[in-house]
Structure 1
Amino acid sequence: MTQIATSQIELDELPALERGRRSLEQIKNIDSTKANLATDNEIFTETRSTRSRIFVDAIPIEESADSEPHTRRLGLRIGSISVEVEEKVLYLLGSCMGVFTIGLNDTATGANLPSIQKHYNLSYEVVSLVFLAGFGGYLVACMLNSVLQNAIGTRWMLLTAGLLYAGGSLLIAFAPPFPLVMIGLIIMGFGGGFYEACLTSIVAHFENSRFMNILYSFFGIGALSAPFIIGGFAKAAIPWNLYYWFPFSLGVILIAAHFMLFKQYVIPAEAETEHHTLRARFTQLTQMRITWQVKLLPTTIGMVLIMLSFAITLTLSNWLTSYLIEVKGAGVDISRYQLSMLWTGITAGRMFFSLPYIRVRDRVGNALLLVLLCGAIAALWAAKANASNWAVIATAGFFLGPNTPAILSIVSIRVPPRLKGAAVSITIGSGLIGAALGPLLFGVAVGKIVPGLEVLPPVIIVLSTLSALTFWTIPPREKRD
């Protein structure tokens, strides 16, 4: 009996009998194993399905099986309508909304400058401090953005920017004493700086110069809208401070919009670390052996270029209204509308050069555009008839428009993905030095020299020439996998 029992156990442990029949215990074990495998597969499938779902406003949209590995589609619900949107398009839309709001404030200070000067009875030197106030906060925010964005996340960074922008606008809307106006501009500068650096770094990860042009086209749309609104206020004798209810309202809207749109956004450099293969890690280590001089050179040149670009744009934009009134004899409302023509040209230029078959080479193309800008500014300087100013100003804006997005694309393309956010923030922050010092130093000089505002065109021509020459120092782009 003992031998028979032992023999039975040995037979049961075999995978199958010679006759092709299986014992009862084997069948039970196989069924149990299949059930466990099915359960494991279900859990694994559910986990992958859960991970591959992306929620925007509680709508899950799964990745398609034949889609590219890095292409995701998000669901967006507007009322009872559900829309499926590619991830890049949705984030580009949210970024464009933000820079449109920044653009409103970019030209508002210059367009309101004569009204602020008259309301507070200030000299050119004192009223020029408004530029330093606004861009002081802007500069600090851009320098802090990369650190804070990594610390608290993109979504909360954008919400912080919205609160600061709306809070500063609300303070100025009540026309407080001039020192409080300065504080309001500083707060708005913080919000605008966080917005621009954060949103530009988002678009920079797309590594597409056309997306950058589209982004800054919306900046131009906002910038050309503000003078129209302020010009209408001036013609209707509406107090200048009431304009700031517009950026306040838009800031509140942006807080809600960015809260929803960027709910699932993760900085690409962080998202990709989970999927690094051994080959990708080896490639990254190989790239790190490139000298720091090669990596820093494009950023350094980009910092110089962006300082000149911002100085040209902001000096021309902020002082053009006063120049047209005092030198060209334009009306208080007409001068604001002509300032809008500058930003209409800037926006048109950025849209035109974002077309698929239009490409501007880094050195030759951008230098040529700046030479054409000098020609348009020279025509404005020489023109006697006020009617011709409309076309000349718009033409100058068209050639100036692609300058800033081209510089940001040059810098972002030439640095590794993990450094894009910091490089873009530093570049924009450097540009704000030119944006603050350009209008400020020009205002101080205008108050002390005899020609006064008549020197605006030659100053813009000199700065544009320096920028065109600097473009020739850009190193060629490195080829990376």
Structure 2
Amino acid sequence: MATFFLAIIYLAFISLGIPDSLLGSAWPSMRLDMGASFGFAGVLSMIAAGGTIVSSLASGSLVARVGTGKITLISCCLTAGALLGFSAAPSLIWLVLLVIPLGLGGGAIDAALNHYVADHYKAHHMNWLHCFWGVGATMGPIIMSYFMTEHNSWREGYAAVSMIQFSLAIVLLVTLPLWKRVAANGEVENREELPDQAASEKGRSAGGSKGNVLRIKGVKPTLSAFLFYCGVEATVGLWGASYLVGARDMTAESAAGWISLYYGGITVGRLITGFITLKVNNRVLIRCGQMIAIAGGVLLLLPLPSLFLAGLVLIGLGLAPIYPGLLHETPARFGKENSAKLMGYQMAVAYTGATFLPPLFGVLAAQTSIVLLPFIALAFLVMMLLSAEKVNRVLHQGVYLRG
């Protein structure tokens, strides 16, 4: 029962990932049909992420009242309905209205399931959870590329993804009683206790408390790492296809396919990382991922086609262990009694990065050139690395425990 229940959680995270990668893949063709400016995708992305921030901040009280299972089901229905609306939207104002429920639904699923898995499961499950987000994020551009190539229609691509979302909602509805039954029977794999209680004590006493967690040493650079992680992931995902079309002379259909490989790199990387966490601690994996992503950013600058495309995939592979690793390390770094509040802060800052940094780049690219994408991506990656290394310097080595 517990294994089947975990599979339902993974399936729900697929529904979170599918819509996240659609807009960037469809935008080169979509903006022409809708008469939109190049940078308007950034506006849509900002509105959607704003809804995500609101729902994630409210998710704690909503889950307490309604339950994680119902929140997941309702959120999936919200995203499915919004995507169906995208397929028939007659004007840009409709897109603006529809991205609001799209963002609200995505944020509620993300915050509720991340908190649940961080509390009850070990590090490899956190990585695999986000791997299944990557499955959905990889499927989105593939589906969109197919309908744009075979049917010359981004609208049919959105309609197809909407049907997938509604199918997932049916599965969640049928299995809804499972959430209460498994929780009542205690059929979850409790997150491992910290083997070094001194590490938890250090998180409690490092200059902060439950009432003022921002004063704990290492919290602020950790939040900075979340900001730039989501900034680079979302910026490359949203503008990568436009970069390949505008700077590398690729067709929109081919560019959408390569963006699916970018998300595929994140997906495969998290699948592999889930196994590696059984032997290697999160801190090492986070650092290795950052170095791989930076190497990919350098390759993306090079003029040879095989190298810059490989760089795009490498960025995805490098990003894979960073986000789930940072989330899972929260109790070990700062103490379990601080982790619930810090988890909310981290998610809020992460969404802020996804909300503001991609559209800011869109404004910059519209005024200058899309050619700047690799340089901006590298800058974000370096800032993330510096922030994470500052945490490593501030906190004692014992805070970082094997996940």
| TM-score above 0.5, yes or no | yes
Code of the aligned partner of 2:327:
L
Counting matched residue pairs gives 379
C-alpha contact (below 8 Å) 1:140/1:190 kept by paired residues: yes
1:198 shift after superposition:
1.0
Name 1:150's counterpart in structure 2: 64
What is the SS of the residue equivalent to 1:124? coil
Contact 1:104 1:225 in 2 (8 A): yes
Is contact 1:314-1:435 (8 Å) kept?
A: yes
User: Quick one: structure 1 residues 267 and 307, their matched pair in 2 at CA, closer, same or farther if it must change by over 3 Å?
Assistant: farther
- What residue in structure 1 maps to residue 361 of structure 2? 442
Whole-angstrom CA distance in 1 between matches of 2:99 and 2:63: 23
* Structure with larger Rg: 1
SS in 2 for 1:330: coil
Q: CA deviation at 1:127?
A: 3.4
Residue in structure 2 matched with residue 94 of structure 1 by the alignment: 8
Q: Structure 1 residue 455: deviation in Å?
A: 0.8
Matches within 5 A, 1:17-166: 74=1, 87=2, 89-166=3-80
CA distance in structure 2 between the partners assigned to 1:357 and 1:127 by the alignment: 37
Cα–Cα, structure 1 residues 462 and 390, in superposed 2: closer, same or farther, change >3 Å?
closer
- Contact 1:161/1:191 (8 A) holds in 2: yes
Deviation at 1:360, TM superposition (A): 4.8
Deviation at 1:133, TM superposition (A): 1.7
Is residue 313 of structure 2 the alignment partner of residue 402 of structure 1?
A: no
Counterpart of 1:395 in structure 2: which amino acid?
Answer: L
% of aligned pairs identical? 20
Match of 1:457 in 2: 374
**Correspondence for 1:229:** 143
The amino acid across from 1:318 in the alignment is L
Aligned to 2:244: 324
Change (3 A) 1:130 1:236: same
How many Å separate the matches in 2 of 1:300 and 1:94?
Answer: 34
Q: Tell me what 2:293 maps to.
A: 373
Pairing partner for 1:430 from 344, 349, 352: 349
Displacement of 1:175 in angstroms is 2.4
1:191-218 CA distance string (max 9 Å, x none):
1111111111121112411111101111
The alpha-carbon distance between structure 1 residues 245 and 302, as it changes in their structure 2 partners (threshold 3 A), is farther
Q: By how many angstroms is 1:267 displaced?
A: 12
TM-aligned CA distance change 1:426 to 1:157, over 3 Å: farther
1:162 partner amino acid: C
Contact 1:100 1:219 in 2 (8 A): yes
In the aligned structure 2, how far is the partner of 1:246 from the partner of 1:426?
35
For residues 228 and 275 of structure 2, what CA distance do their matches in structure 1 show? 26
Q: What is the distance in 1 between the residues matched to 2:68 and 2:148?
A: 39
Partner amino acid, structure 1, of 2:372: V
Give the drift of 1:294: 5.6
**Aligned with 1:467 (options 384, 392, 398):** 384
Query: What are the Cα deviations for residues 126-150 of structure 1, in whole angstroms up to 9, with x where unaligned?
Result: 3321111211111111111011111
Look up the match of 1:169: 83
Tell me by how many angstroms 1:425 deviates.
Answer: 3.6
- Of 241, 264, 273, the match for 1:353: 273
The 8 Å contact of residues 311 and 439 in structure 1, kept in 2 or not, is answered as yes
Alpha carbons 2:223, 2:346 under 8 Å: kept: yes
What CA distance in whole angstroms lies between the structure 1 residues aligned with 2:375 and 2:181? 43
Question: Residues 106 and 357 (structure 1 numbering): CA distance in 2 closer, same or farther, change over 3 Å?
Answer: closer
Q: Distance in 2 between matches of 1:214 and 1:362?
A: 14
Counterpart contact for 1:363–1:471, Cα < 8 Å: no
Which residue identity lines up with residue 360 of structure 2 in the other structure?
L
Q: More deviation in 395-404 or 349-358? A: 349-358
Structure 1: how far apart are the matches of 2:182 and 2:379? 40
* Separation in 1, partners of 2:224, 2:371: 27
User: Matches of 2:63 and 2:173 in 1, distance apart?
Assistant: 15
CA contact (8 A) 1:306 1:431 kept: yes
8 Å CA contact 1:107–1:318 kept in 2: the answer is yes
Which whole-Å CA distance do the structure 1 matches of 2:178 and 2:288 have between them?
Answer: 42
Alignment of 1:211-222 (within 5 A): 211-222=125-136
Q: Greater relative contact order (Cα 8 A, min sep 6): structure 1 or 2? A: 2
> Post-superposition shift, 1:380?
1.6
CA distance in 1, matches of 2:119, 2:390: 24
Deviation at 1:355, TM superposition (A): 0.7
- Match of 1:468, as an amino acid? L
Q: Quick one: which amino acid aligns to residue 298 of structure 2? A: A
Following the alignment from structure 1 to structure 2, what is the Cα–Cα distance between the partners of residues 302 and 269? 32
Distance 1:369 1:356, change over 3 A: closer
CA distance in 1, matches of 2:306, 2:145: 18
2:152 and 2:400 mapped to 1: Cα distance?
56
- Change in 2 beyond 3 A, CA 1:212/1:267: farther
More strand by share: 1
State the Cα distance separating 1:394 from its structure 2 match: 1.8
**SS state at 1:293 partner:** coil
Query: Partners in 1 of 2:277 and 2:169 — Cα distance?
Result: 36
Q: Which has the higher helix share?
A: 2
| 1:181 equivalent in alignment to 2:95 | yes
Pick closer, same or farther for the CA change 1:268–1:433 going to 2, 3 Å. farther
1:366–1:468 Cα contact (<8 Å) kept: no
Cα separation, 1, equivalents of 2:255 and 2:361: 19
d(CA) in 1 for partners of 2:340, 2:13: 17
1:393 paired residue among 304, 312, 315: 312
Distance 1:254 1:420, change over 3 A: farther
CA change 1:267–1:207 in 2 (3 A) is farther
Q: Which moves more between the two structures, 359-368 or 414-423? A: 414-423
Q: CA deviation at 1:458?
A: 1.0
Instruction: Indicate yes or no: 2:293 matched with 1:293.
Output: no
The answer on whether the counterparts of 2:19 and 2:137 sit within 8 Å (CA) in structure 1 is yes
Aligned residue among 301, 308, 312 for 2:232: 312
Q: Which residue of 2 aligns with 1:27?
A: none
Q: Is the 8 A contact 2:36 2:92 kept in 1?
A: no
Read off the aligned partner of 2:110 and give its amino acid letter: E
For 1:376 and 1:356, locate their aligned partners in 2 and report how far apart those are by CA, in whole Å.
21
